[in-house]
Amino acid sequence: MTPNCFEALPLAAPLQRALAERGYTTPSPIQAQAIPLLLEGRDLLGCAQTGTGKTAAFSLPILDALHRQPRRVKPRTARVLVLTPTRELASQVGKSLETYGAHLDIRHALVFGGVGQRPQENAMRPGVDVLVACPGRLLDLVQQRHIDLSEVEFFVLDEVDRMLDMGFQRDVQKIVSMLPRKRQSLFFSATLADPIVKLAHEILHKPATVTIEPEVTTAEKVEQRVCFVNKEDKRPLLMEWLGEQSSGELTIVFSRTKHGASRLARQISKAGIEAEAIHGNRSQAQRDRTLDKFRAGRLPVLVATDVAARGVDVKAVTLVVNYDLPNEAEAYVHRIGRTGRAGATGHAVSFCSPDEREYLREIEKLIRHEIAIDDQHDWHLGELDRLPVQPAGRSKGGARRSNANGSGSSNGSGRSGGARRSRRRRRRPARA
């Protein structure tokens, strides 16, 4: 029977106390199903959407085991290794460990690039209970003999799909080869594509699988729109959307490249709306400062690349703008998952230029529905809705796509891309 409250779970008293102090009473579906299995010592392959509580699902049973089976750690070793794809996610996991382990004598360390490694060497010198790390820096410190993975009892691979998307599969396999064979291993992911399942069965031992279907579809949780627009018209269209945000509302704008994110943040700020970028070229200190300002509501617009997509957990985000459509459909789901979190409603708009039409088709195929077209702006590219979808350099037929009202015709005039519709204020959908 699935527990319907944390008190029904056999977690140690210090953990129950920390949960009660934070007002956490009801476990999410992934927590309710995964925690009992992990407390039994099972390996686990868990799949659930972002923002559903996967971090607590693995943190709580691991902290429970560390508390009930205390052991002195050896220098440079860790009893638990949590591997994450990004610095932001590593920091997020670290904060969760501090929250849930507030009344436990548990030490943890964070290891990732973008900051000096000396403090990380110092943190690992006496050994820690939990090590949260990104693959690149971890391998560096292992090779320099500042970290020894031979004592790991619990191994967590978090956001597996993103890890593979970022090209870390070889690093992950190298790290796994350094771990003891006798361990409890946990995989958590937002999707379960074939490569993920294959990797899981190479590393996990007779794993239990927990897959949580979303209670509502993505379309119901986040109101999605697509704007057909020429590439050179994206910036004025973005400024129109940002101009309609109310005071105190937060926006995340996604750019495909680091350079594009920095340039866009400068352009938005120059137009009178404060914006900053986070991406892999910024130092960790810079990224932390920017995220702290954004979380506190002092920064209305955050411009990000996909690397940062899953490290931003801010419930006040009301709008996500895909300034560039992602070339991987799964990234779209993770991007728009930055809004509409914890059951709230959110809004997402995507700008689709002619060279991105194929990306839109793949996204709609993945989410299993067509995204409503917003043509109530001055830069609507009506003919793009009627263009056959074709990869660059090929010619391929395609059926005409229905517009937002399902009529199969576009409200666009069919003019050339440089033409402008008569100016009128875009009728933005009412907020729920």
Confidence of residue 311 (pLDDT cuts 50, 70, 90): low
As a whole number, mean pLDDT of residues 12-37 equals 93
CATH superfamily of 218-386: P-loop containing nucleotide triphosphate hydrolases (3.40.50.300)
As a whole number, mean pLDDT of residues 10-39 equals 94
Contacts of residue 211, defined as CB under 8 A and 6 or more positions apart, other chains included, come to 46, 47, 48, 192
* Identical fold, 6-211 and 218-386: yes
Confidence of residue 397 (pLDDT cuts 50, 70, 90): very low
At residue 415, does pLDDT exceed 80?
no
Q: Give the pLDDT score at 250.
A: 93
Q: Give the pLDDT score at 96.
A: 93
At residue 58, does pLDDT exceed 60?
yes
Contacts of residue 416, defined as CB under 8 A and 6 or more positions apart, other chains included, come to none
Tens digit of pLDDT for each residue in 70-114?
999 999 999 999 999 988 889 989 999 999 999 999 999 999 998
User: Nearest CA to 188 among 221, 165, 155, 150?
Assistant: 155
Confidence of residue 165 (pLDDT cuts 50, 70, 90): confident
Q: What is the DSSP letter of 321?
A: E
Confidence of residue 310 (pLDDT cuts 50, 70, 90): low
**343 or 167, which is more confident:** 167
Q: Give the pLDDT score at 386.
A: 57
Q: Cα separations (Å) of 420 from 45, 350, 370?
A: 51, 20, 26
- The Cα–Cα gap between 316 and 345 comes to 10
Tens digit of pLDDT for each residue in 256-304?
998 999 999 999 999 999 999 988 778 778 888 998 899 899 999 999 9
Confidence of residue 215 (pLDDT cuts 50, 70, 90): very low
At residue 220, does pLDDT exceed 70?
no
- The Cα–Cα gap between 231 and 226 comes to 14
For 53, the enclosing helix (H) or strand (E) is none
Q: Which residue has the tokens 């995204």?
A: 371
Among the residue ranges 4-13, 125-134, 140-149, 387-396, the one predicted with the least confidence is 387-396
Sketch the domain layout of the chain as residue ranges.
6-211, 218-386
Which CATH number applies to 6-211?
3.40.50.300
Q: Are 134 and 84 in contact (CB under 8 A)?
A: yes
- The Cα–Cα gap between 133 and 239 comes to 38
Mean pLDDT of the chain: 84
Tens digit of pLDDT for each residue in 326-367?
988 878 888 888 887 666 678 999 999 999 999 999 899 888
Tens digit of pLDDT for each residue in 146-159?
999 999 999 999 98
Q: Give the pLDDT score at 265.
A: 96
* Sequence-distant contacts of 360-367: CB under 8 A, at least 24 apart: 360/226, 360/325, 361/389, 362/329, 363/325, 363/326, 363/329, 363/332, 365/329, 366/329, 366/330, 366/332, 366/333, 367/218, 367/219, 367/329, 367/332, 367/333
At residue 217, does pLDDT exceed 80?
no
Record the tokens describing residue 186, joined without a space. Answer: 């946990």
Phi, psi of 219 (to 5 degrees): -65, -35
Question: CB 21: neighbour CB atoms within 10 A?
Answer: 11
At residue 208, does pLDDT exceed 70?
yes
Q: Cα separations (Å) of 37 from 100, 107, 186, 208, 418?
A: 19, 25, 11, 8, 59
Q: Give the pLDDT score at 218.
A: 52
Q: Which residue has the tokens 């101009």?
A: 243
Number of helices (H), then strands (E), in the chain: 15, 14
Sheet of strand 128-133, all strands in order from the earlier edge strand to the far edge: 108-111, 128-133, 78-83, 154-158, 184-189, 44-47, 208-211
Q: Give the pLDDT score at 331.
A: 81
At residue 21, does pLDDT exceed 80?
yes
